[in-house]
Structure 1
Amino acid sequence: MMNIKLSQIKAWIDCEIPTEYLDTFVNGTCIDSRKIEQSNLFIPFKGEHVDGHRFVAQTIESGAGASFWQKDVPNPPQGPIILVEDTLQALQALAKAYLKHVNPKVVAITGSNGKTTTKDMVECVLRQSFKVKKTQGNYNNEIGCPLTILDLDADTEVSILEMGMSGFGEIKELTEIAEPDVAIITNIGESHMQDLGSREGIASAKFEITEGLNEEGLCIWDGDEPLLKPLVETMQHKHISVGLNDTNDVSIHTSQISNSGINFQLNNEQSIYHLNILGEHNVKNATYAIQVAKHFGVSEDIIQDALNHLELTDMRMQRIETEKYGLFINDAYNASPTSMKAAIDTLHNMEQDAKTLVLADVLELGDISKEMHEQVGEYLLNKDIQTLITYGEEAAHISNKAQNHIAQTIHFETKEEIVEYLSEHLDSNAVTLFKGSRGMALETIIQSLT
């Protein structure tokens, strides 16, 4: 993590620091006064309900090396205080300068679905060849991304940055801080439709990630998404399309799907890759990672070996084996109509005879929510799934449409009812997949059962 003198910060960003503290070192950053560690740089923010400046003196007493202080806040305390015009802008400027100081290769990742999975895969295929550090958790916004950068060790060789957004201009801000060597756009879904108005708007907002690409930068994008094609055609940078269609620069051909994973080839070449996780949609995410690794000169053998030992962040097609209830697939971290359809395909392709699908609301769809949920229900036509359980006001539209397609369709008002039902109807030969938006927290059902 960042370990520098305040004199270095003064040289990098527009700020004022008392002369007597210029030789003071700060080690790492912190935005929560309750979690301050020795020599941290504390970053206070003026929030709607709480002003972090109230805790600055306390953090200094607790061992913080220094703290930012916004100039429009009166009465800064004595001590190692860094006066800045705006603490968020100062954090971002410091991150940009520190990233240039460390000078790693930067891989930036955005998309409606699959950002975290792709991030994990990129780390997996690079870590044998480079010292790699990736975004932790959901630190992918205007605060989290700079904090991730400032957490880089001085000898980091590759920084993998996940970039999320809820509106226009947000990814542009992040990519201009990071100036990535590689930018990946995993797909365009329906998330944030209520803020961005249309899938075209979402595509435009995600495509902002290319605006910060450095001069020799590479864009790797979902070539099966027609909304991205006209945007990519305006680019000056090198770009590679990835997808299932043969018209892509890199076309994916899946040769085998089983409960133990997926085998696939690229451009009909001889090399066969094995992905040890579920979900055919994850093959595209893996292919993005393969292209990054090849771009950075990683050998075919290392890439194949890495994918064989891939581990994903929890709640992304996470397998949970139980003696009593069979296999749970926890894909409940988040959801969109697109990712729900991918989850349905995953369950359809599994080998068990007793398949149960538990779906909850997809949030933030705005006026088209009913239509989108009904499309998921229609998608269940001719799928090898025996039981559908839905939970949530919007998810009821799924079960209403699917009741003619699935042998048993049940809508529950509470998660407690779902727990009770599953405990009575599952056995050791069953497989049950859980999918819903983060706010629906379907993983609590699994926790109750296990």
Structure 2
Amino acid sequence: MIKCTLGQLAKMINVENDVMEFQNIEIAGVSFDTRLIEPGNLFVALIGDANDGHKYVDIAFEKGAAAVLWQKDVPNPPKNKPVLQVEDTLRALQDLAHSYRKQNSAKVIAITGSNGKTTTKDIVAAVFSEDYKVHKTDGNFNNHIGLPLTILAMEETTEIAILEMGMSGKGEIALLTRIAEPDAAIITNIGEAHLQDLGSREAIADAKLEIVEGLPKNGLLIYPGNEPLLVKKVSSLKQFNTCTFGETSENDIYAIDITIEENGSNFIVPGLSDEPLFLPISGKHNIMNALAAILAAKEFLISPTSIRAGLKSVKLSNMRMEWHDGIKGTRILNDAYNASPTAMRAVISMVEKLADEREKIVVLGDMLELGEKEVEFHEQIGEELNPDKIKYVFTYGPLAKHIASGARLHFPDERIFEFNDKEKLINVLNEKVEGNELILFKASRGVKLEEVVNAMLVR
């Protein structure tokens, strides 16, 4: 984590008051939440829509904060305390992170995309950890506040920083990449998430490509070569190096001889190894994420042996492709952290193609932030479900009912169940499960479908 004196800190950002009296005070780490603050932290008083961190400055000092960033237009800063006044506390936090990143010798890999950002981050971290000291984004700390905090939490001895970059609108990735100045950037895919805000997949592609604004001229952009929107746009951007991954041999890296089972995926990468690589995550879409990680690893001269070992050791963040033992001998796949049409199709396809004799049940909730075509997207998911592979379709939520509507084109009514009440869903699911089925749970995070998952687990 960042460790410096207030005198040093005042040279890293624009501090508008005289801190000479406190210049030798040392800070270690940064926090904006008094519930999580640790002794020695710099407390940043952020102003949000619903709360103002300046109200908690006294508590921060009581809990051991070494100093505070205070926005100068807020009245009554504490007297005789190490308070650094700045024009804007959020901007100061971001500027501090950028300055610390510039001082640190770590190489930075930035990751964005409509789906698969966190999974790809976890895969990249596992592979790079074989040869380097790695720091990565924790949880979903991937926005204009979380990314600066992630950088400032980085140890000075870090060799590789893996930073996830999320967005909800235009300009957000540009801000994050300017703060992080990555040496390499990965775009996982272009899906439908954020259509509500951006309006089209082309606009989403433009927003994701903002990530290159922070790349140096010798930097590397890794992107899916089977995505026409990106291929067209990247071809006009020649100031950095590029590599592609995908399903076909036209890409710089691709996979063959793919086999997918519950405990993971085996695949061969031509030119890397004649022996299959093992990724302990199921699904072709996750193999694509692994290919992006392999390209990054090759750029940083990581050996095939280390790549193989790193892939084998991958562990995912919570509620992403989690397998559990369920009631009556069922197996439960909880992938309910987030959802978009692209992500939902990918995991349903994986479940349908699993070499497994279990009967399959899908429990699908609302996909949020899809804009004016949200009903159509849900209906399409239902229409694409295979009645020869799926035993029952359960939906939860006012949008997911359109998945049920689409499924009725191929499924008889007695195999489709719609709910807006989780208790009723749980009760009927309990009734219909006979034993030994595989149950997939998938929905956007706001649906909180994990509440249903937890009710179906073995206690």
TM-score category of the 2 structures, normalised to the smaller one: over 0.9
State the distance in 2 between where 1:188 and 1:242 align: 14
State the distance in 2 between where 1:43 and 1:383 align: 56
**Partner residue in 1 for 2:397:** 392
Residue 36 (structure 1) shift: 1.9
1:44-83 pair list within 5 angstroms: 44-78=45-79, 79-83=81-85
- Preserved contact between residue 32 and residue 44 of structure 2 (Cα < 8 Å): yes
Q: CA 1:223/1:17 → structure 2, altered by over 3 Å: closer, same or farther? A: farther
- Following TM superposition, where does structure 1 have runs of at least 4 consecutive aligned residues deviating by more than 4 angstroms? none
Residue 427 (structure 1) shift: 4.1
- Preserved contact between residue 325 and residue 423 of structure 1 (Cα < 8 Å): no
State the distance in 1 between where 2:336 and 2:315 align: 17
State the distance in 2 between where 1:230 and 1:255 align: 28
Question: Residue type matched to 2:26 in 1?
Answer: F
**Partner residue in 1 for 2:10:** 10
Larger deviation, residues 50-59 vs 72-81: 50-59
Q: Deviations over 1:292-315 (max 9, x none)?
A: 111111111111122122211111
State the distance in 2 between where 1:187 and 1:227 align: 10
- Preserved contact between residue 385 and residue 406 of structure 1 (Cα < 8 Å): no
Larger deviation, residues 345-354 vs 261-270: 261-270
State the distance in 2 between where 1:268 and 1:299 align: 13
1:277 aligns with 2:281: yes
Instruction: Structure 2: give runs of 5+ residues left out of the alignment.
Output: none
Q: Among residues 327, 330, 336, which one is paired with 2:331 in the alignment?
A: 327
Q: Deviations over 1:196-251 (max 9, x none)?
A: 01000000000100110123210000112111112111222100111002221212
**Partner residue in 2 for 1:120:** 122
Residue 44 (structure 1) shift: 0.8
- TM-score, normalising length: structure 2: 0.95
Larger deviation, residues 249-258 vs 211-220: 249-258
Q: CA 1:311/1:428 → structure 2, altered by over 3 Å: closer, same or farther? A: farther
Question: Residue type matched to 1:249 in 2?
Answer: D
Residue 325 (structure 1) shift: 4.0
**Partner residue in 2 for 1:263:** 266
Count of residues in Structure 1 that have an aligned counterpart in Structure 2: 450
Q: Deviations over 1:246-305 (max 9, x none)?
A: 221212224322223211122466242111211221000011111111111111111112
- Preserved contact between residue 185 and residue 222 of structure 2 (Cα < 8 Å): yes
1:376 aligns with 2:376: no
Instruction: Structure 1: give runs of 5+ residues left out of the alignment.
Output: none
Question: Residue type matched to 1:440 in 2?
Answer: V
State the distance in 2 between where 1:331 and 1:143 align: 26
- Preserved contact between residue 352 and residue 429 of structure 1 (Cα < 8 Å): no
Question: Residue type matched to 1:403 in 2?
Answer: R
Secondary structure of 1:255's counterpart equals strand
**Partner residue in 2 for 1:247:** 250
Residue 447 (structure 1) shift: 0.9
- Preserved contact between residue 192 and residue 340 of structure 2 (Cα < 8 Å): yes
Question: Residue type matched to 1:411 in 2?
Answer: E
1:176-191 pair list within 5 angstroms: 176-191=178-193
Secondary structure of 2:92's counterpart equals helix
Secondary structure of 2:14's counterpart equals coil
1:219-258 pair list within 5 angstroms: 219-235=221-237, 236-258=239-261
Secondary structure of 2:46's counterpart equals coil
Matched-pair identity in %: 46
1:411 aligns with 2:414: no
State the distance in 1 between where 2:154 and 2:241 align: 27
State the distance in 1 between where 2:352 and 2:186 align: 29
**Partner residue in 2 for 1:38:** 39
Residue 71 (structure 1) shift: 0.8
- Preserved contact between residue 348 and residue 383 of structure 1 (Cα < 8 Å): no
* Aligned alpha-carbon RMSD (Å): 1.4
- TM-score, normalising length: structure 1: 0.97
Secondary structure of 2:306's counterpart equals helix
1:295 aligns with 2:299: yes
Q: CA 1:337/1:272 → structure 2, altered by over 3 Å: closer, same or farther? A: same
1:430-441 pair list within 5 angstroms: 430-441=437-448
State the distance in 2 between where 1:268 and 1:29 align: 44
